[in-house]
Amino acid sequence: MNAKTQLNRKPSRAVFDRNGIYAVLDEGLVAHVGLIAGDTPDVHPIVIPMLYARDGDMLLLHGSPASRLLRNAKGGRDVCVTVTLLDALVLARSGLHHSMNYRSVVVMGCASEITDPDAKVAALDRLVEHTVPGRSKQIRPAHDKEVKATTVLILSLDECSMKVRTGGPIDDLDDLDEPSWAGLVPLGVFIGEPEPDEGSTGDPVPGHVAFWSRGPGQVNGRAG
């Protein structure tokens, strides 16, 4: 871990377990990617949601070559990629101790572009697989022009850190007699029934899609 990702407060919430970090990255669906936009001195931060995938100890991002963020990022600017999973609302007996149970990973570094066609195809497959395991084998291979029409960035996971909050509310002792309800409201990802597109061979839903929908109300199905 580099000094940049050292957490400077609430160290009890900091976790430096690489497998735990990888598990959060594998469970998440969307990353929030931060970048410094503009030119000195007229710079400002920008944060954009992006699809991503983990590939071993690297992180993959992709998008249109026209994306300002990707153009900037592949130009060697530092990025910060944050993935957050919400696990519960924490309702305490005082406003101050209200909180959220969450797992959040922050990755910092300088992204580079994947230009080798074979490596790019493998990365694009990995991006599909991250969201829907098994799907890349169920769709036709990408055409050359499609590969060219996508920018893929790769970022090392060397500089990453995780913060986690678990458990119930932590109230002041003086507040334990307060009459207000206190506790957790669990949160997760709701997954609905798949909706076939017109003309799709929709029945039965194939296994790699059904993986996502083992019944309404499945929480974090992809993590199971």
Of the listed pieces 15-23, 53-61, 112-120, 212-220, which binds a second copy according to CB under 8 A? 212-220
Q: Does 1 bind a second copy (CB under 8 A)?
A: no
Tell me which stretch binds a second copy (CB under 8 A): 13-21, 52-60, 112-120, 175-183: 175-183
Residue 150 interacts with a second copy (CB under 8 A)? yes
Give the up-direction half-sphere exposure of residue 207: CA atoms within 13 A in the CB hemisphere.
3
Distances in Å between the Cα of 150 and the Cα atoms of 24, 61, 68, 114, 215 are 26, 10, 13, 10, 34
Site for a second copy in 81-140 (CB under 8 A): 81-82, 84, 86, 88-89, 91-96, 98, 100, 102, 104, 106, 108, 124-125, 128, 131-132, 135-136, 138-140
Q: Return d(Cα 161, Cα 159) in angstroms, integer.
A: 7
Distance of closest approach, residue 109 Cβ to a second copy, in angstroms: 9
With contacts defined by CB under 8 A, name the span among 16-24, 52-60, 111-119, 181-189 that binds a second copy: 181-189
154 contacts a second copy (rule: CB under 8 A):
no
**Per CB under 8 A, 214 contacts a second copy:** no
Task: Kindly tell me which of 81 and 154 has the beta carbon lying closer to a second copy.
Answer: 81
How far is 31 from 22, CA to CA, in rounded Å? 14
Q: Is 217 in the site for a second copy (CB under 8 A)?
A: yes
Sign of CA dihedral 201, 133, 104, 166: positive
- Contact, 131 vs 29, CB < 8 A? yes
- Contacts with a second copy in 22-51 (CB under 8 A)? 29-30, 32-36, 40-41, 43-49, 51
Other C-beta atoms lying within 10 Å of the C-beta of residue 139: 10
What is the nearest approach in angstroms of a second copy to the Cβ of residue 196? 4
Residue count of the chain, please give it: 224
Binding of a second copy by 15 (CB under 8 A): no
Q: Which residues contact 21 (CB under 8 A, 6 or more apart)?
A: 15, 105, 157, 160, 161, 162
